[in-house]
Homo-oligomer: A and B are copies of this chain.
Amino acid sequence: MGKRGFASDNNSGVHPAILKALSDANVGHAVGYGDDEWSARAINKFKEHFGNNIDVYFSFNGTGANILSLKTLSCSFNAILCADTAHINVDECGAPEKFTGSKLVPISTPDGKLTPELIKPHLHGFGFEHHSQPGMISITQVTELGTLYTIEEIKAITTLAHEHGMYVHLDGARIANAAAALNKSFKEFTVDAGIDVISFGGTKNGMMFGEAVIFFNPELSKFAKYYRKQSAQLYSKMRYISTQFLAYFEDDLWLKNATHANKMAGLLAEHIEQIPEIKITQKVQANGVFAIIPEELIPILQEEYFFYEWDENRSEVRWMTSFDTEEEDIVNFTKLIKQYFDK
């Protein structure tokens, strides 16, 4: 059994209910590629959460979901605007550029969140063929810095985008943590807020694998099935993703997991805030804590807990909590930190 830690919510294992669902679906034959009963039911579950007018495509992973989202709603001559900290910009080895052929326009932000003010300077050159045409905006909710957009903030962005004939993608790798933190339904801060397509994450919140791309205007996604196949994201034994999503929605497992993870991050932040030598650098709004700590403390802590340095230049670290983080983890970890400063 591996060392526990705060490296990433994908270092956690799989929730037992998910594992059971995999086992339950392991009966007999099923038609491949999504034409099975589990998949039909899973898509219905998504409709319960997002409304009936959606078009859903399961994918293996988050990068796969993102490139499918972006490719379906853009052309290669488009520019895709995003925060410079966006996963699509810094953590996907250029998969979006490779698969879409488009230019990514990274925008610097203080907190991982785009705003109309930050976006507007990039909304020019429309119709001017020398310039990649602004075509999409991609935001992440919860952001890569652990911060949250309010519904109003999202609406301000989608309104601006639509005024310019652009689409808005929401990278929801941690969308469950966002819903839990906002205490809102998925629908309220996505389709109702004007979002056109989301990557709906499962893997970081207790699933084994599997994400979903959800288009909110099926007119626009008629070719998505081909792009999914062409991007090698169509799973043959689809029932094993679908059954996970069924378990994920059953008894609000997604919400319990996310709420717990968020609570653990809050608890960690509470403990850390009591240590005057440490500066928390971003609002703790979901399941991540960003902090500047003494450089020499980092390897000391990493001996017992996994986590990543976020910005080496200023000794900033990132601590992620998960559905399986335990209070004891928090207590022991902060104890280690306090010991260092008490020396």
Contact = CB atoms under 8 A, between A and B. Distances in A.
Q: Which of A64, A208, A227, A231 has the most CB of B within 10 A?
A: A231
Q: Which of A98, A232, A233 has the most CB of B within 10 A?
A: A232
Given A26-B19, A29-B13, A130 B229 contact: yes
A37 interface: yes
B229 A232 contact: no
Contacts of A225: 129
Interface in A195-231: 203-204, 208-209, 223, 225-231
From DSSP, what is the main secondary structure of chain A's interface residues?
A: loop
B14 A2 contact: no
Interface stretch (A145-153, A154-162, A234-242): A234-242
Interface stretch (A44-52, A73-81, A267-275): A73-81
Q: Which of A7, A8, A91, A103 has the most CB of B within 10 A?
A: A103
A291 B133 CA distance: 27
A77 B93 contact: yes
A237 B209 contact: yes
A92 interface: yes
Contacts of A60: 60-61, 209, 232-233, 235
A309 to B, nearest CB: 11
A94 interface: yes
B93 A229 contact: yes
B209 A130 contact: no
Q: Which of A32, A94, A101, A324 has the most CB of B within 10 A?
A: A94
Contacts of A30: 2, 11, 13
Q: Which of A4, A16, A67, A225 has the most CB of B within 10 A?
A: A225
Copy number in the complex reads 4
Contacts of A61: 60, 232, 234-236
Nearest to A124: B312
A315 to B, nearest CB: 15
A77 B22 contact: no
A33 B124 CA distance: 19
Contact of A5 (B29, B64, B132, B306): B29
24 contacts: A1-B27, A1-B28, A7-B32, A10-B236, A10-B237, A13-B26, A13-B237, A60-B232, A61-B236, A62-B236, A63-B232, A76-B227, A92-B229, A93-B132, A95-B229, A97-B97, A98-B101, A105-B106, A129-B229, A130-B229, A203-B236, A204-B236, A209-B240, A232-B233
Interface of A: 1-5, 7-8, 10-14, 16, 19, 22-23, 25-33, 36-37, 60-64, 67, 75-79, 90-95, 97-99, 101-106, 121, 124, 129-133, 203-204, 208-209, 223, 225-237, 240, 306, 312-313, 324
Given A10-B236, A133-B226, 19 more contacts: A13-B27, A13-B30, A14-B240, A16-B26, A19-B23, A19-B26, A29-B306, A77-B227, A77-B229, A79-B94, A90-B131, A93-B131, A93-B230, A97-B97, A98-B230, A209-B209, A231-B231, A231-B232, A232-B233
